[in-house]
Amino acid sequence: MNWTLVVTGHFSKKAKKFLKQHPEQSKLYLKILLLLEANPYHPSLRLHPLQGKHKGLHSVSMNMSYRITLEFLIEGNQLILIDIGDHDAIYRG
């Protein structure tokens, strides 16, 4: 089953800023997006649900420092991309 990535305006701005600050992560970023489309449950993504004020959202890991948070709309096979950044920035915000 293929998933559709839905990019919010907020995510688009954050991703642009993130990639400008971390150009070395651009290939990994694209790889993560392709994996999400193919299989968000792929073990290398380390998909997990968030708790607290982020309850209802999920997070996948780009690497040990950077995360992408997303909201699942399973009925429509859609993944709505919400945020990208380092672990502390995402979980504080």
Tens digits of per-residue pLDDT, 18-73? 999 999 999 999 999 999 999 999 999 999 888 888 888 898 988 888 888 887 76
Q: What angle do CA 56, 59, 65 make, to 5 degrees?
A: 145
Residue 91 has pLDDT above 70, yes or no: no
* Residue indicated by tokens 């309850």: 55
Q: What is the pTM of this model?
A: 0.85
pLDDT, residue 16, reads: 95
SS3 47: coil
Name which of 77, 41, 37 is nearest 58 in CA terms: 41
pLDDT, residue 81, reads: 92
